[in-house]
Amino acid sequence: LAHGAGGKASRTLIEAVFVDAFRSPELQPLDDGATLDLGTGRLVLTTDAYVVSPLFFPGGDIGDLAVNGTVNDLAVCGARPMYLSAAFVLEEGFPIADLRRIAASMAAAAGRAGVRVVTGDTKVVQRGKADGCYVTTAGVGALERPITLGESQVRPGDAVIVSGPIGEHGITVMIARGDLDIEADLTSDTAPLHDAVAALLDAVPVRMMRDATRGGVATVLNEIARGAGVAVTVDERAVPVRPVVSGACELLGLDPLYVACEGRFVAVVDGDHAEAAVAALRRHPVGEGAAVVGSIEPGPPGMVLLNTAFGGTRIVDLLVGDPLPRIC
Amino acid sequence: MSGTGARRIRVRVEGLVQGVGFRPFVCGLAGAHGVSGFVGNDPGGVFIEAEGESARLEAFTAGLTAQAPPLALVERVSVEPVEPVGESDFRIVPSRRATGDGTWRAPGGDLLGGARAFSVGDLSVASVSPDAGTCAACLRESRDPGDRRYRYPFANCTGCGPRFTIVTGVPYDRCATTMADFEMCGACAREYGDPGDRRFHAQPVCCPACGPVLRALGADGRVEAGDPVETAARWLEAGRVVAIKGLGGYHLAVLAADGPAVAALRARKRRESRPFAVLAPDAAAARTLVHLDPAAERLLTGTRRPIVLAPRRGDAPVADAVAPGARDLGVMLPYTPLHHLLADRLAAPYVLTSGNLTDEPIAYRDEEALRRLAGVADGFLVHDRRIEAPADDSLVRVFRGRELVLRRSRGYAPAPVGVPWPFPRPVLACGAQLKNTFCVARGTQAFLSQHLGDLESHETLRCFAESVEHFCRLFGVRPAVVAHDLHPEYLSTAYARDREGVDLIGVQHHHAHVASCLAEHGHGGPVIGVAFDGLGLGEDGTLWGGEVLVADLVSYRRVAHLETVPMPGGAAAVRQPWRMAAAWLDRVHGDAPPCLPVAERHREQWPVVVRMARTGLNSPLTSSAGRLFDAVAAVAGVRDVISYEGQAAAELEARVDPGEQGAYPARLIEGEPLVIAAGDLVRAAAEDVAAGTDAGRIAARFHRGLAAAVVRAVRVVGEGTGLRTVALSGGVFQNTVLLEAVVSGLERERFQVLVHSRVPPGDGGIALGQAVVAAANDRR
Ligand SMILES: [Fe+3]
Ligand SMILES: [Mg+2]
Ligand SMILES: [Zn+2]
Ligand SMILES: [Zn+2]
């Protein structure tokens, strides 16, 4: 059960089962997509399964997520998103109206992202064997830029950028699900990131990017620190969080760094170009709240250190499963 | 001297025998009994060869234990006969170090005094002794204008002074301490070499001509002219915050009676309300601050010099901000000549608190301290003797005339805890997340580290990793077995899992608590273990903390526990005890809650928090006794939000009305395991609040009710198992009101009760429990 929370447990699951079973040079457990060299050019291929409860929430639904999520995975690999496939697993009795609504929002999202849904599949399972509707999308994008992105490119002195205020999707869904009677002016941040990413790539030397979905920004930062063998230091006060999100997090006892986003990404860029990177992002609506949140340091390798507002240094660790208090 | 009938023996002395004047003592003893031979240190302790008539040798050997110096702790003396060689004198020979081939050799490479090499496996390891407070003789000298150490802040002798905090390696010699930076002057060298002198082979010996120098530095780091102690005293009298470099790290000081200065210190240290300790110039001054019973006074004036928690006097001359909301006050006496000089000059108590920001470890390296404390301290009183190992002040209280250590650090660490069960292979136990200590163990000795602090902070984690290496070097331990908590996100667990080439053993938190109490008593179990604390991960994935176990060192069974409730908001429910009140009141009253002040005070968030508890959103389940105290503290209006760990429970304890004899009833719910219906206590407290009963009586009735419920649960377990011994552990048993009620209740039921004394009941003791559980499983 804990394996879905996006932290250490899912990583262990992925590494234990799939990496071992599929052994291929293109399969990197931590990357969002695989880069395939066809001889005539490079493609990026990615796939993601979407499960969310409730299916409809303020600011979007499972359809937006399924398109934007895959578009974003392609984008942060440096590719121009082009084609998607979509597969649906439906529970018997799932309302057709709801399915129409999901399909419509997928079409609209695809239009915004400039991609086409070119193939698909649908299966219906018995009542009780699924939770309404699951969507799986795969995406193909063209890697047109002569660049290499990834943790291997990350160097001490680089800057760490977050593309906008964090945690809005996760908190929105939690409030919608929890029947909590919280009145919050909050919608999911689900959005396609390809334009903002392209602008960033045009503007500055980028080392790597990753969209901060499950497990939030903290999980991405830990992946960077571990994958690159560096330390990531983050200034707590620099992390963009809207007051409504920090207020809800306070109430729910959550750390916004671990809350899921669906329209935010983390970029590591050449430290000398940090301001230019932020300026480039801010020209796009999805990057309006972009900020430099920290930097890459040589050590301690594998660690994410948060300089707190109180002047201390807290370790931001990878969550193993659902968060359990460590304090007593 | 080796006439007819002369015999020669080789003696090995193990225990705390280095850095305590043991070799000079052996010289003197040999002289007194007319015995020839030699004595020296090696990593295993002290080695001796002695030659003389049988009766003299016997008297000499007996004296090794019977007359040992005050700071020594002789654990074992083993004797074997060798061939007489016919020496005429008795001397101290150079220390021997370990060599790569597992034999011990002199530094020069030659085997000394005809002693043959023997293997490491034969040895337990010499102990590095804890730091000891200035002795009466050294104090007299520092106050004698005719003495060459008059007003010298660093005077020490074989009976007192820095040890663990300056030791860089073993064996204990000057070159293996940070005093290696200072070359002895002629006068000091003569004392050091004179068997008749108090400073014979006192490694940190020094004087104003050759030793460390005291300086006062302004906030800008510039040296102030004039006498540094006088300068610091004037700063304190002017209401400034002064950083003082002590034995185990930097402290921050203000005058205890100076309210605004104490408030400034709180603000700058970002420590809202956790009580500060106060240093009193002498025992008489301490008696004006707190009520001292004979046991407390013995602890206060002993060589370990801990902070002693004792009931505060109503007229104590300290500002309210020193210990707000507390019934007790932590008091200590000066433990270095420097602290004596300052206290004598001020003739008033001063607050002495570790030099850090809240939640960080104590600063002890000069550059780092000056950087971290810039903006906190207005001035610095510093010196140039390096601190090798940090050590906070230890904290103790008295329970039934015996010491109860709450924080085990300076003066206590790294004295080993002896256990009757040999560790089959060397063990490293990594401890818990908060109040971390770790433990390295080999032979029959467990070396529990000094208090390191909360591993959430990177500084503490780094200090943890460095200290583990330091201990392994000092005590010759190469861990083959590494024990850790079951909580996967404790950074101590992560550290354990990153060690390579070792066998990992996970030990459940509360089993480790109970085992730490068993280890302290050398009791192998099985016993009925009551482990009450804040939180620890249980094997079922819920958070435990109100547990009754049947346990031995190998395993345990959970036989009873407090009723389980959700913690709405997880860690937020720890910081905000009112959330636990919401969860508990919802449990006992459901949809018809009475209108209580606590719900009124949190009117806006209350319904959301209740819904979180019901839906389980970020609301892990817990059976914690600490969280139950939190709930009752909030219901009773004592504390809704905390700023330090255990605050609500401590304040509820402080409020207990000793005259109140009532107790809330709580049911036991039959089953496997048995459940203590703690909700009954919350319901009764809520009814009392609604009826207008005051918090002191509610606190008393709750403590007594909980204790009675625990005793009844133990009685049921005892009837089912036939076990008659109970071990009490976990941080909740720092609460001496609860402890007294539980112990006396169990004694009335004729149980034998084991309570902590030298090992903290809280998470600071857990590493010892992990170590013995790991060893017991390794032994199988
Ligand atoms: Fe504990
Ligand atoms: Mg993805
Ligand atoms: Zn002395
Ligand atoms: Zn000298």
Nearest-neighbour CA in chain A from B596: distance (Å): 21
Highest mean pLDDT out of B86-100, B158-172, B758-772 = B758-772
Binned at pLDDT 50, 70 and 90, residue A252 comes out as very high
Highest mean pLDDT out of A39-43, B102-106, B263-267 = B263-267
Give which of B565, B608, B642 to mutate to test A binding, by max A Cβ within 10 Å: B608
Summarised one tens digit per residue, pLDDT across range A196-205 is 999 999 999 9
Average pLDDT of chain A to the nearest whole number:
89
- Return the number of other C-beta atoms located less than 10 Å from residue B433's C-beta: 25
Interface of B with A in 551-580 (CB under 8 A): 567-575
Name the nearest CA neighbour of B513 among B524, B529, B526.
Answer: B529
pLDDT of the residue at A171: 92
Binned at pLDDT 50, 70 and 90, residue B70 comes out as confident
**In this model, does residue B18 exceed pLDDT 90?**
no
Closest ligand by atom to B340 CA = 3
More confident residue, B743 or B24: B743
The reply to whether residue A178 touches residue B568, judged by beta carbons under 8 angstroms, is no
Closest ligand by atom to A211 CA = 2
pLDDT of the residue at A7: 61
pLDDT of the residue at B113: 29
Question: Which has the minimum average pLDDT: A28-42, B58-72, B127-141?
Answer: A28-42
Binned at pLDDT 50, 70 and 90, residue A28 comes out as low
pLDDT of the residue at B122: 35
Closest ligand by atom to A50 CA = 2
Q: How far is the CA of B414 from the centre of ligand 3 (A)?
A: 20
Which of B458, B533, B608 has the CB atom closest to A328's CB atom?
B533
The reply to whether residue B534 touches residue A321, judged by beta carbons under 8 angstroms, is no
pLDDT of the residue at B110: 32
Summarised one tens digit per residue, pLDDT across range A117-131 is 999 899 999 998 888
In this prediction, residues B600-622 reach a mean pLDDT of 93
Which of A310, A311, A326 has the CB atom closest to B489's CB atom?
A326
**In this model, does residue B105 exceed pLDDT 60?**
no
pLDDT of the residue at A320: 63
Binned at pLDDT 50, 70 and 90, residue B98 comes out as low
The reply to whether residue B617 touches residue A178, judged by beta carbons under 8 angstroms, is yes
Q: How far is the CA of B489 from the centre of ligand 2 (A)?
A: 25
The reply to whether residue A325 touches residue B645, judged by beta carbons under 8 angstroms, is no
pLDDT of the residue at B673: 96
Q: Round to whole Å and give the CA distance between B116 and A26.
A: 63
Residues within 5 Å of ion ligand 2 by Cβ? A 48, 73
Q: Round to whole Å and give the CA distance between B687 and B572.
A: 26
Binned at pLDDT 50, 70 and 90, residue A311 comes out as confident
Binned at pLDDT 50, 70 and 90, residue B108 comes out as very low
CATH class held by domain B6-100:
alpha beta
Give the angle B415-B418-B421 at the CA atoms, nearest 5°. 150
pLDDT of the residue at B76: 86
The reply to whether residue A313 touches residue B359, judged by beta carbons under 8 angstroms, is no
* Residue of B41, B156, B436, B735 marked catalytic: B41
Is residue B488 less than 8 Å (CB to CB) from chain A?
yes
Instruction: Give residues with Cβ within 8 angstroms of B298, minimum separation 6.
Output: none
Binned at pLDDT 50, 70 and 90, residue B173 comes out as confident
Which of A174, A313, A323 has the CB atom closest to B457's CB atom?
A313
Whether B399-520+762-772 and B560-754 share one fold: the answer is: yes
Q: How far is the CA of B205 from the centre of ligand 4 (A)?
A: 7
Q: How far is the CA of B161 from the centre of ligand 4 (A)?
A: 16
The answer to whether B715 is a known catalytic residue is no
- Return the number of other C-beta atoms located less than 10 Å from residue B672's C-beta: 9
Residues of chain B positioned with their CB less than 8 A from the CB of A320: 488-489
| Domain assignments of chain B as residue spans, ordered by start | 6-100, 128-397, 399-520+762-772, 560-754
Of the CATH numbers 3.90.870.30, 1.10.3720.10, 3.40.50.720, 3.40.50.300, which one belongs to the domain with range B128-397?
A: 3.90.870.30
The reply to whether residue B458 touches residue A252, judged by beta carbons under 8 angstroms, is no
pLDDT of the residue at B107: 34
Binned at pLDDT 50, 70 and 90, residue A34 comes out as confident
Binned at pLDDT 50, 70 and 90, residue B125 comes out as low
The reply to whether residue B457 touches residue A317, judged by beta carbons under 8 angstroms, is no
Nearest-neighbour CA in chain A from B228: distance (Å): 30
Residues of chain B positioned with their CB less than 8 A from the CB of A183: none
Nearest-neighbour CA in chain A from B230: distance (Å): 32
pLDDT of the residue at B124: 45
Residues of chain B positioned with their CB less than 8 A from the CB of A325: 535, 543, 567, 570-571, 573-574, 620
Q: Round to whole Å and give the CA distance between B734 and B756.
A: 9
The reply to whether residue A179 touches residue B359, judged by beta carbons under 8 angstroms, is no
**Which ranges in chain A are annotated with CATH 3.30.1330.10?**
31-143
The reply to whether residue B534 touches residue A326, judged by beta carbons under 8 angstroms, is no
Question: Which has the minimum average pLDDT: B5-14, B92-101, B344-353, B709-718?
Answer: B92-101
In this prediction, residues B316-338 reach a mean pLDDT of 95
Percent share of chain B, pLDDT over 90? 80
Which of A8, A251, A311 has the CB atom closest to B357's CB atom?
A311
The answer to whether B41 is a known catalytic residue is yes
More confident residue, B736 or A22: B736
What type of residue is B404?
L
Residues within 5 Å of ion ligand 1 by Cβ? B 533, 536, 763
What is the CATH code of the structural domain delimited by B399-520+762-772?
A: 3.30.420.360
In this prediction, residues B419-434 reach a mean pLDDT of 94
The reply to whether residue A326 touches residue B569, judged by beta carbons under 8 angstroms, is no
Percent share of chain B, pLDDT over 70? 95
Binned at pLDDT 50, 70 and 90, residue B1 comes out as very low
Instruction: Give residues with Cβ within 8 angstroms of B604, minimum separation 6.
Output: none
What topology is assigned to A31-143 in CATH? 60s Ribosomal Protein L30; Chain: A; (3.30.1330)
Strand partners, A235: A307
Is residue B688 less than 8 Å (CB to CB) from chain A?
no
Q: How far is the CA of B161 from the centre of ligand 3 (A)?
A: 7
Instruction: Give, rounded to a whole angstrom, the gap between the first and last alpha carbons of chain B.
Output: 52
The reply to whether residue B359 touches residue A254, judged by beta carbons under 8 angstroms, is no
Nearest-neighbour CA in chain A from B531: distance (Å): 14
In this prediction, residues A134-160 reach a mean pLDDT of 93
Binned at pLDDT 50, 70 and 90, residue A23 comes out as confident
Instruction: Give, rounded to a whole angstrom, the gap between the first and last alpha carbons of chain A.
Output: 25
The one-character DSSP state at B471 is H
CATH class held by domain B560-754:
alpha beta
Binned at pLDDT 50, 70 and 90, residue B602 comes out as very high
Binned at pLDDT 50, 70 and 90, residue B638 comes out as very high
Read off the tokens for B546. Answer: 């109100």
CATH class held by domain A151-315:
alpha beta
Summarised one tens digit per residue, pLDDT across range A150-180 is 999 999 999 999 999 999 999 999 888 867 7
Residues of chain B positioned with their CB less than 8 A from the CB of A328: 432-434, 533-536, 545, 574, 624, 626, 645, 731, 763
Residues of chain A positioned with their CB less than 8 A from the CB of B570: 253, 323-325
**In this model, does residue B651 exceed pLDDT 50?**
yes
Residue A65 Rama label (left phi>0; alpha psi -120 to 50; beta):
alpha
Q: How far is the CA of B432 from the centre of ligand 1 (A)?
A: 8
Burial class of residue A126 in the structure, from the number of CB atoms within 10 Å of its CB (0-12 exposed, 13-18 middle, 19+ buried): exposed
Is residue B547 less than 8 Å (CB to CB) from chain A?
no
**Which ranges in chain A are annotated with CATH 3.90.650.10?**
151-315
The reply to whether residue B457 touches residue A319, judged by beta carbons under 8 angstroms, is no
More confident residue, A213 or B682: B682
Q: How far is the CA of A221 from the centre of ligand 2 (A)?
A: 15
Which of B432, B457, B487 has the CB atom closest to A314's CB atom?
B457
Average pLDDT of chain B to the nearest whole number:
92
The reply to whether residue A182 touches residue B608, judged by beta carbons under 8 angstroms, is yes
CB B567 within 8 A of CB B543: yes
Q: How many CB pairs under 8 A join A and B?
A: 118
pLDDT of the residue at B779: 80
Closest ligand by atom to A136 CA = 2
* Residue of B10, B23, B149, B683 marked catalytic: B23
Nearest-neighbour CA in chain A from B135: distance (Å): 38
Nearest-neighbour CA in chain B from A252: distance (Å): 5
The reply to whether residue A325 touches residue B545, judged by beta carbons under 8 angstroms, is no
CB A223 within 8 A of CB A296: no
